[in-house]
Each structure stands twice: as C-alpha cells, then as structure tokens.
Amino acid sequence: MSHNYTNDITINRAGSSKIDSVDFENLSFGNTFTDHMLVCDFKNGEWETPIIKAYEPFLLDPSAKVFHYGQAIFEGMKAYKDDSDDVWLFRPDENYHRFNKSAERLAMPEVTEEIFLGGLHKLLEIEKEWVKKGKGNSLYIRPFMIAIGPGVIAAPSTHYRFMIILSPARSYYSGEVKVIIAEHFSRAANGGIGAAKAAGNYSAQFYPTKLANEQGYQQIIWTDDATHTRLEEAGTMNVFFRIYDTLYTAPVSERILDGITRKSIIDMAERENIKVEV
C-alpha cells in the first residue's frame, strides 16, 4: 500500500494494544474496533490538523446539530492483506469523491484528499497487524462526518468532526441472502437524499427491514417511490439481475446510491463482452 500524501498528522499512540484479546475467527460484524482512530475537526471555516489517537468515546453538547437535524454522512470500504503482507484498498478514491458529494448534499464542508486518503493510509500503516490474511478476512473502514456545533436553530452547523474508525471483519452475511421486494415503504424519493450516503437514509429503512426480518428475510429490494414497479437497490447493496446472457441494473438517480462495486461490475462485464443494460 503506497501513497504520496505528505499531510501533517499528529500521532498519539495508545499505551497498549487489545489485539491479542480478539478472536478473529468469531467476529460479529462492526462490534470490534482497532486500537486507534483518526479525528479531524472543521472550525472557523477550515480543517484543523488531523489526529490519530487511541480509540475512545468523546463528549458532545446535548444541542449538537447531529442529534437534532441529522447532519451525518459516512462511507464503507475495506482493506485486505495479501500473502506478501501487503495491504490493499479497493478504489478508495471513489469513496473519497462520493463522500464529498454526500457532504455537498447535506450542506457540510468537503474533506480534503490529504485528510481523507492521507489520513486513512497513515492510520492503516499503524493498524496493519489488524488486517488479517486469508479468504473472507478484511478490515472494515468507516469514515464519517457529523455536525457537532451546538444550538437547536434549524440551520447547518459551523463545526464538524470527520473521523475514521476501523473494524476487523469477516463476511457481512454468512450464507444466501433472502430478500423481499418493497410494495409500500420507500427508501428514497426524487429530490431527496437517496443518492447521498447519509445516516438518515439508513435509519428510515430500519422499521420496514425489521418487518421483513420478522418474515424471514434479510434484506429488502427497494422499488421506486411513485409506482413500486421498478426494482432499484437493496438496503446494503446495489443489485443486478441476469436474464439469459444480459445483466440488468437500475440506473443511478437521485434515489439510488452510486455504488462502487456496481461501477466495477459494469466495467468488468463490458471488458468481458457481457451485455449490460442500465
């Protein structure tokens, strides 16, 4: 994993590591975190120096905007380790660009490439031992930004916090995924924030997903909000359908997240002369 970022980062290492206490063969997704995290605040119209420090809780004012108006965005990506102990990322530049598109849509400041990608590479260098080799093993990466400025007036914050936390992971699903097609509830609508990776998009789908879980389904395939006749995407993934020798997937729109794996599948299919209709 090489890079050319030269940004200034303050590093305060944890006094000890908890890695030896982790059972990497029996991980529950998203519940175990590495020793360090990256934190960077936006204040007075500019980003401060990012800090890599011990993973720990932090305090927020009860009136912080994130609690009242939901200014919160995130990305999800993974790091992998090959047999030569080199750590690899999958198209992280795409996550960086999508993150800033989400920021713009929620009236939040864009994060610089040096902070997002440069900070991520430095954090992964420090936490390299948490990336395990072998099929199914990865280190889940969660960059996110929240509005931490105080005040309950309905207006964008002027103070934000960008963070990256890391979590060792195995497969998100342990087997086949059983899905149900949405016929009433909607994930997003035209003119809304469906194309942004915003926290509110996910909290709004928890209730219908809970109902689906009670019927024995793991996920919902969402449909268009107007007619519920067009298949769009699932709660945790974009979807493709193979009909004979053609792959079909929904076009990117204001309602659909511009998936990075989706882009890659389309690129690979075209390279292999597999017909794709969007």
pLDDT tens digits along 225-274: 999 999 999 988 899 999 999 999 999 999 998 999 999 999 999 999 99
Q: What pLDDT is recorded for position 174?
A: 75
- CA dist list (Å): 58 to 55, 68, 148: 10, 18, 11
Phi first, then psi: give them for residue 114, nearest 5 degrees.
Answer: -65, -40
Domain residue ranges of the chain, discontinuous segments joined by +: 10-169, 179-277
Q: What pLDDT is recorded for position 5?
A: 66
Averaged pLDDT, 136-164: 97
Distance separating alpha carbons of residues 34 and 139, to the nearest angstrom? 9
Confidence band for 159, pLDDT divided at 50, 70 and 90: very high
Which CB contacts under 8 angstroms, 24+ apart, belong to 147-154?
Answer: 147/64, 147/65, 147/66, 147/69, 147/71, 147/72, 147/108, 148/41, 148/60, 148/61, 148/64, 148/65, 148/66, 149/64, 149/65, 150/61, 150/63, 150/64, 150/65, 151/63, 151/65, 152/63, 152/68, 154/69
Q: What pLDDT is recorded for position 23?
A: 96
Number of CB atoms found within 10 A of residue 257's CB: 22
Q: Please report which residue ranges of the chain form alpha helices under DSSP H.
A: 65-69, 92-105, 113, 119-126, 199-214, 260-271
Helices 92-105 and 260-271: crossing angle, nearest 10°?
130
- Above 70 in pLDDT, residue 49? yes
143 with 122: CB under 8 angstroms?
A: no
Let me know if the fold of 10-169 is the same as that of 179-277.
no
Which residue type sits at 48?
A: E
- Above 60 in pLDDT, residue 162? yes
Q: What pLDDT is recorded for position 6?
A: 55
Residue 31 CA to chain centroid, in angstroms?
A: 15
Which residue type sits at 264?
A: S
- Above 80 in pLDDT, residue 163? yes
pTM of the model: 0.94
The β-bridge relationship of strands 51-54 and 36-43 is antiparallel
Closest to 231 measured CA to CA, from 273, 193, 277: 277
Q: Residue 53, CB half-sphere, CA atoms under 13 Å: how many?
A: 10
Q: What pLDDT is recorded for position 2?
A: 54
Interval 174-214: pLDDT, tens: 778 899 999 999 999 999 999 999 999 999 999 999 999 99
Lowest-confidence segment of 6-15, 25-34, 142-151 by average pLDDT:
6-15
- Above 80 in pLDDT, residue 7? no
CATH number for the domain running over 179-277: 3.20.10.10
Q: Which CATH architecture has domain 10-169?
A: 2-Layer Sandwich (3.30)
